[in-house]
Structure 1
Amino acid sequence: MSQVPIRSIWVFHLVARSRSITRAAGELGVTPSAVSQQIQSLETQLGVSLLAKVGRGVVLTEAGERFFESIDESAELITEATNAIRGYRSVTTLTVRATPTLSNKWLLPRLGQFLAANPDLEVRLDGTNEPTDFNREAVDVEIRHGDGKWPGLFVEGLTEESFIPVCSPGLAGPGSLEAGDVLGYRLIHSVKSQAQWPRWLALAGVEPRERWRRVLFDRSHMAIDAAAGGMGIALESTLMMQRELAAGAVVCPVKSPPEIRIVTQWIVCPRDHLRHKKVRTFLDWLRAERSAGAIA
């Protein structure tokens, strides 16, 4: 049997890592057809199918998963050794997707700490509410908003969040209102939030009015900024407005308010991503932040 060409193995590794022939071709500076030919040559040499097409993307077959798992760590070591001998500092890119609010209000302010602790990692942060299609998109890990029910993926709750009413201290002072008094103010709604004003009012024993003044936003970070700007009273997560609460930009105007406590942000990725050191490093950092009380 002839020796399996190293280039074909390397091409397969790029395709398996990105789950895309097109992206692998872009990295190599060749055509997608040339990449496909390399994969077909490798499959012929090994006598097994490594990839299967799904829509416009590709997925690994069972044999492909086993082969990728076997060569992945070695391929990364070869890359590091090659860069070192050429005098380049080895840099690994971690691609993280998170909701715009979590990205802006919690992750971005802490990202410098993570980078300082992991100088050989560079991070690409993709702030969007669109859930990742891990079969098509080169995303390593996502912090996803929702109910945590995504079969076939690794899912771990980030933290339990507490939702409380907040406003600018210029609009109403801390603890200056009874629960029912909030209906005398404009209520700020985050339309995609899992905690809504009717639920909070029911917990507080307040009958909502037939008509009320309100303003609606489709992003929580916009609702928080609107509350800080004196537009009205928002019902938001303490996780998302840690900076504003700490700085006194927003306060809870309600005396002894009922809390809505739920998990709305989840760490999500394919289980095979957990074998990558960069993903484990990021998840360990998130858990350490949670244990230290930085996520609350």
Structure 2
Amino acid sequence: MQLPIKAIWVFHTAARAGSVARAAEQLSVTPSAVSQQIQALEVQLGVTLVNRVGRGLALTEAGERYFAMIGDELERVAEATSIIRGQRAITSLKVRATPTLSNKWLLPRLGRFLDTHPELEVRLDGTNEPTDFNRELVDVEIRHGDGRWPGLFVEGLGPENFVPVCAPSLAAPASLTPEQVMQFRLIRSVKSQAQWPRWLSDAGVQHDFDWKAVLFDRSHMAIDAACDGMGIALESNLMMWRELRDGLLVNPVRGAPGIRLTTQWIVCPTDHLRLKRVRVFLDWLREEYRRWSETEAILP
């Protein structure tokens, strides 16, 4: 029997994309052409592979098994074809992450991933907008939040410690009591899960809301403002490890309590975990966090 290679590749692309329209866009054909190829493959195999669900598609049990069996093999065929043609095999990996994580933690480490995986071309989008995986061509997202997103694969990157910090020119390390923090301008990241009222309560400081404050909607702006001596920020050591390492920020409070939270989460559809490019990126992320937590997670 002659293998219907074209139909198999179209099915694989559609199953990976989760949508006929998105598969058509990737293959530069019409959606009806994608549907026709999948139907032809179903006729040859004698099973139903996909069901339409709104604008997307869902794999049947047979479709799930078939996709799992052919996925890695088709990627190897594509890579081998490129090599024989004398081309360098390039696979695109699209990652979405919050602006602060992108700038402060991911970007300084990304070169190591690229050096290890030269076959991957990475696109990094820095945004706080959650991905609609049914409509957007994103392989994996690192999302800020509480980790509750039903229907998706969700894994915490790891715990962070939120502590008060400021420029050493504003206040020396361990030079203030928790009560004296109220004498300074407090820098607030409005989307942060760790906020000053909780920290002040944990420190036993009586407080009201008549305080000097400046608010930012991005944590990297709050960190930079603290480095510039604008006030005292309550931020994550995951995001400001480099500023702490270089002495641009210090903890000015003696016996300051910390707030320990996991706020960054690896998120993607479960079927994306079948993709080799996603698996190697997630393995790298886990190793980078482990390395950071053991060697670079500076606690002021």
TM-score after normalising by structure 2: 0.91
Report the counterpart of residue 126 of structure 2 in structure 1. 127
The CA distance in 2 between the partners of 1:295 and 1:136, in whole Å, is 37
Q: 1:48 maps to which residue?
A: 47
Q: Which moved more, 1:128-137 or 1:159-168?
A: 128-137
In the TM superposition, what is the alpha-carbon distance from 1:196 to its structure 2 partner? Answer: 0.6
Q: Which residue of 1 aligns with 2:253?
A: 254
- Which has the higher mean CA deviation after the structures are superposed, 38-47 or 234-243? 38-47
Give the Å deviation of 1:153: 3.0
In structure 2, what is the Cα distance between the partners aligned to 1:295 and 1:124? 26
- After the TM superposition, which of the residue ranges 41-50 and 163-172 deviates more from structure 2? 41-50
Aligned pairs, number: 295
From the superposition, tell whether residues 26 and 226 of structure 1 become closer, same or farther in structure 2 (CA, over 3 Å). Answer: same
Q: Which ranges of structure 2 fall in alignment gaps of 5 or more residues?
A: none
SS of equivalent residue, structure 2 residue 211 = coil
For the pair 1:34 / 2:47, whether they are aligned, the reply is no
- C-alpha distance in 2, partners of 1:215/1:266? 27
Match of 1:94?
Answer: 93
> How far, CA to CA, are the matches of 2:165 and 2:138 in structure 1?
34
Deviation string for 1:223-271 (max 9, x for gaps)? 1111112221110000001111112222111112111111111222233
Look up the equivalent residue of 2:200 and give its one-letter code. L
Q: 134-143 or 75-84: which moved more? A: 134-143
Is the 8 Å Cα contact of residues 289 and 295 (structure 1) preserved in structure 2?
no
TM-score of the aligned structures, taking structure 1 as reference length = 0.92
1: CA distance, partners of 2:205 / 2:128: 32
Q: Percent of aligned positions with the same letter in both sequences?
A: 67
Could you tell me how far apart the structure 1 residues matched to 2:272 and 2:296 are? Answer: 23
**Cα distance, 1:294 vs. partner?**
5.3
CA–CA separation in structure 2 for the residues paired with 1:78 and 1:268: 28
C-alpha spacing 1:31/1:294, structure 2 compared with 1 (3 Å): farther
Aligned to 2:60: 61
Aligned to 2:21: 22
Residues 92, 122 of structure 2: 8 Å contact kept? yes
Could you tell me whether the CA contact under 8 Å between 1:239 and 1:295 is conserved in 2?
no
| Contact 2:22–2:135, Cα closer than 8 Å, also in 1 | no
CA distance in 2, matches of 1:210, 1:13: 56
User: Which position in structure 2 is the counterpart of 1:83?
Assistant: 82
List runs of 5+ in structure 1 lacking aligned partners: none
> Are the counterparts in 2 of residues 58 and 135 from structure 1 also a CA contact under 8 Å?
no
Question: 1:165 touches 1:234 (CA, 8 Å); kept in 2?
Answer: yes
Q: Decide which moves more: 39-48 or 180-189.
A: 39-48
Q: What residue in structure 2 maps to residue 180 of structure 1? A: 179
Tell me the residue number matched to 1:108. 107
Q: Which amino acid aligns with 1:238?
A: N
Match of 1:233 in 2: 232
Q: Is the 8 A contact 2:89 2:119 kept in 1?
A: yes
Q: State the Cα distance separating 1:197 from its structure 2 match.
A: 0.4
Report the secondary structure of 1:172's partner residue.
coil
Q: What one-letter code is carried by the residue in structure 2 that aligns with 1:179?
A: P
Alignment match, 1:269: 268
Tell whether 2:156 aligns with 1:146. no
Give the SS at the match of 2:52.
strand
Give the root-mean-square deviation of aligned CA atoms. Answer: 1.9
Provide the secondary structure at the position in 1 that maps to 2:92. strand
Q: Which letter maps to 1:229? A: D
In the other structure, the counterpart of 1:213 is 212
Determine the structure 2 residue equivalent to 1:200. Answer: 199
CA deviation after TM superposition for structure 1 residue 295, in Å: 6.4
The structural deviation recorded for 1:3 is 4.8
Residue 192 (structure 1) shift: 1.1
Q: For 1:210 and 1:280, locate their aligned partners in 2 and report how far apart those are by CA, in whole Å.
A: 46
Which amino acid letter does the alignment assign opposite residue 106 of structure 2?
L
